[in-house]
């Protein structure tokens, strides 16, 4: 947890002023019982109204000064804690942005959301509580103990008995509660994961009438979270009654023994009242410390989860001595490439894959589901790294290139079209914010998106909902293609990105690509074999290996697997014609 304390350094002035102002309030609070005792002993008991008036005015002045100190402490502690949380959340988000796909496979979206929100809030609360209560309560308790001993050392022995009992009870409560707080955050992760999956896939849920199942799944996760949260709450609930029991017992003891001293003339009534106030302040302060330690315990569990994210180093990063390479031609060479998703796993998604894609060529990749098509193209921009072998672009291993330079020159349209909240223009310019309107429209026209965009009342300024919910699947795919075309990449990867458009539109997109992306290397993953008949090279994957490679005519003559795919989609008559 102390590792995160460095986030307070930029706001050290507020972090210092807050406890100093709280010390001012504590000093004023410590004077109040003593002044009250003076009013009772020297004013009420002696009938001195002037003394009551003057001392009362002094109490009001001290109370006003204490109020200024308390309000100032709240203001500065809020400034420090809020900026602390904002900076922590910012760096946590930035660090998560560096994660590779493999890292993200480990940290699901739900758990990252929890750590960026709930866990950071726990740390914010801890900082604010520390700057206020951690200063106020210990100093008020210590000052009250000293004042109590100054009034009556014998009577103060009651505190010598009670305080160790309070600390023992606090220690036991914290020891029981800390593991529960960690479990609470873990169960909240599960709730967020289920919730996110359900909301992102709500159309599938409704289409398959699985709302009941989803309610059951969410109910289970929510019930487990509620159960562990209640268990933690019950543990916390023991704190207040136990503290109140010890406090009331202490007050009764003070009244019992103090009253006897008052009757015998060993203590004045005002001193007994002041002593009782100091004892109450001591016990109330220790109760506040107890509550604060509970907050610290929760924050400690959250700090461990936050540090776990910071401690996770990206699997993929810039090489220590990256060359100043620039992709210009876009020639891609796969040299005996093998790849597996899990470290140490025997199952490989790709095995000994070798081929070359020359500049200006269109290379199509076919294969059954699970054959490794998407895995293959994910390796080119280093979304994952190869397990064995090399991938070279323009003769340079991609692992020797700066990530930004590599990915800027590799345009990629993922299998699932992902759009962001904002205007259509914002989404199109996502990879090239400085693009002109003419360039935007040129890319949109090539992707066959311009016409439907202009059919909207606001055109390119049309606002999209989350993930582009107000567009059809085909429209989202075409905007995704236009977004990739706008950056004019040396390498363009289309991962089954036209599956939701009709054959006519797909044909027009391919024709426009040849004109707009002439000279660029294009890799196309397609489910429809009709989409790749004109490709310069067709690679057929089976079980993570290259089962066949060549042009359409070459594969028709020598690959039974390719002919089977062709036959299953276009029929017997087309085989004869196509061959």
Q: Show contacts of 567-576: CB within 8 Å, 24+ apart.
A: 569/528, 569/529, 569/530, 570/529, 570/530
pLDDT of residue 213: 81
Domain 2-311 has CATH 1.20.1560.10: yes
Alpha-carbon distance 443 to 47, whole Å? 94
Secondary element (H or E) of residue 431: none
Of the candidates 425, 500, 416, the residue with the CA atom closest to the CA atom of residue 456: 425
Alpha-carbon distance 561 to 247, whole Å? 84
Residue tagged 């076919």 (tokens): 366
Alpha-carbon distance 157 to 17, whole Å? 35
Give strand ranges (E) for 276-418: 332-339, 350-357, 362-367, 388-393, 396-397, 410-413
| Torsion angle (degrees, nearest 10) of CA 38, 39, 45, 49 | 130
pLDDT of residue 1: 62
**Whether 337 contacts 157, CB under 8 Å:** no
Look at residue 238 and give its three-state secondary structure. Answer: coil
DSSP state of 315: S
Average pLDDT along the chain, 579 residues, taken 10 residues at a time: 82 92 90 84 79 88 92 93 93 88 76 85 88 83 84 79 78 74 79 77 69 85 86 72 75 77 74 81 77 75 86 85 81 93 71 92 88 90 91 92 89 84 90 91 91 91 80 88 90 84 83 84 86 88 91 90 85 46
**Whether 379 contacts 340, CB under 8 Å:** no
Enter the tokens of residue 458.
């606001």
Enter the tokens of residue 204.
């599938």
Of the candidates 253, 282, 244, the residue with the CA atom closest to the CA atom of residue 33: 282
**Whether 218 contacts 198, CB under 8 Å:** yes
Alpha-carbon distance 439 to 564, whole Å? 42
Q: Is the dihedral of CA 297, 300, 301, 302 positive or negative?
A: positive
Alpha-carbon distance 82 to 295, whole Å? 16
Question: Domain 332-578 - what CATH class?
Answer: alpha beta
Locate the domains of the chain by residue range: 2-311, 332-578
The whole-angstrom distance between residue 452's C-alpha and the CA centroid of its chain comes to 36
**Whether 546 contacts 351, CB under 8 Å:** no
Q: Supply the pTM of this predicted model.
A: 0.71
pLDDT of residue 239: 66
Give strand ranges (E) for 433-478: 463-464
**Whether 283 contacts 149, CB under 8 Å:** no
pLDDT of residue 573: 45
Enter the tokens of residue 94.
């930035």
């Amino acid at each position: 947890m102390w590792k995160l304390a460095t986030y307070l350094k930029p706001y050290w002035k507020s972090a210092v002023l807050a406890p100093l102002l709280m010390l001012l309030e504590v000093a004023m609070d410590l004077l109040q019982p003593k002044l009250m005792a003076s009013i009772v002993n020297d004013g009420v008991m002696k009938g001195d109204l002037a003394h009551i008036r003057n001392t009362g005015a002094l109490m009001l002045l001290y109370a006003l000064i204490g109020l200024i100190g308390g309000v100032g402490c709240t203001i500065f502690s809020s400034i420090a804690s809020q900026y602390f949380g904002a900076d922590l959340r910012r760096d946590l988000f930035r660090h998560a942005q560096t994660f590779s796909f493999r890292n993200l496979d480990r940290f699901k979206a739900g758990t990252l959301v929890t750590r960026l929100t709930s866990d950071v809030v726990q740390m914010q609360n801890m900082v604010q509580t520390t700057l206020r209560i951690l200063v106020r309560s210990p100093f008020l308790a210590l000052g009250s103990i000293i004042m109590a001993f100054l009034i009556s050392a014998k009577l103060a022995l009651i505190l010598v008995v009670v305080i160790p009992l309070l600390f023992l009870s606090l220690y036991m409560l914290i020891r029981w509660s800390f593991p529960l707080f960690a479990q609470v955050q873990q169960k909240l992760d599960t709730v967020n994961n289920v919730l996110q999956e359900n909301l992102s896939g709500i159309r599938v849920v409704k289409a398959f009438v699985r709302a009941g199942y989803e309610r059951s799944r969410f109910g289970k996760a929510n019930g487990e979270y509620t159960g562990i949260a209640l268990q933690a709450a019950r543990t916390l609930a023991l704190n207040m009654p136990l503290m109140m029991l010890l406090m009331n017992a202490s007050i009764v003891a003070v009244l019992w023994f103090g009253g006897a001293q008052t009757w015998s003339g060993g203590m004045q009534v005002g001193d007994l009242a002041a002593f009782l106030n100091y004892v109450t302040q001591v016990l109330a302060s220790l109760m506040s410390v107890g509550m604060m330690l509970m907050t610290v315990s929760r924050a400690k569990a959250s700090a461990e989860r936050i540090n776990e994210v910071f401690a996770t180093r990206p699997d993929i990063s810039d090489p220590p001595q990256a060359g100043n390479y620039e992709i210009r031609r876009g020639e891609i060479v796969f040299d005996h490439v093998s790849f597996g998703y899990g470290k140490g796993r025997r199952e490989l998604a790709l095995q000994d894959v070798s081929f070359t894609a020359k500049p200006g060529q269109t290379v199509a990749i076919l294969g059954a589901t699970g054959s490794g098509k998407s895995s293959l193209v994910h390796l080119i921009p280093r979304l994952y790294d190869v397990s064995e072998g090399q991938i070279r672009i323009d003769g340079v291993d991609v692992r020797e290139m700066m990530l930004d330079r590599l990915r800027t020159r590799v345009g990629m349209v993922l299998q699932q079209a992902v759009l962001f909240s904002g205007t259509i223009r914002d989404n199109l310019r996502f990879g090239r914010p400085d693009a002109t309107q003419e360039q935007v429209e040129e890319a949109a026209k090539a992707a066959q998106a311009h016409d439907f965009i202009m059919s909207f009342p606001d055109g390119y300024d049309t606002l999209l909902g989350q993930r582009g919910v107000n567009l059809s699947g085909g429209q989202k795919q075409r905007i995704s293609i236009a977004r990739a075309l706008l950056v004019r990449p040396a390498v363009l990867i289309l991962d089954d990105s036209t599956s939701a458009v009709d054959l006519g539109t797909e044909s027009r997109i391919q024709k426009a690509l040849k004109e707009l992306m002439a000279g660029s290397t294009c890799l196309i993953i397609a489910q429809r074999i009709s989409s790749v008949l004109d490709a310069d090279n067709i690679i057929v994957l089976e079980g993570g290996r290259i089962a066949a490679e060549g042009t359409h005519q070459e594969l028709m003559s020598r690959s039974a697997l390719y002919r089977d795919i062709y036959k299953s989609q276009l029929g017997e008559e087309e085989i004869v014609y196509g061959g």
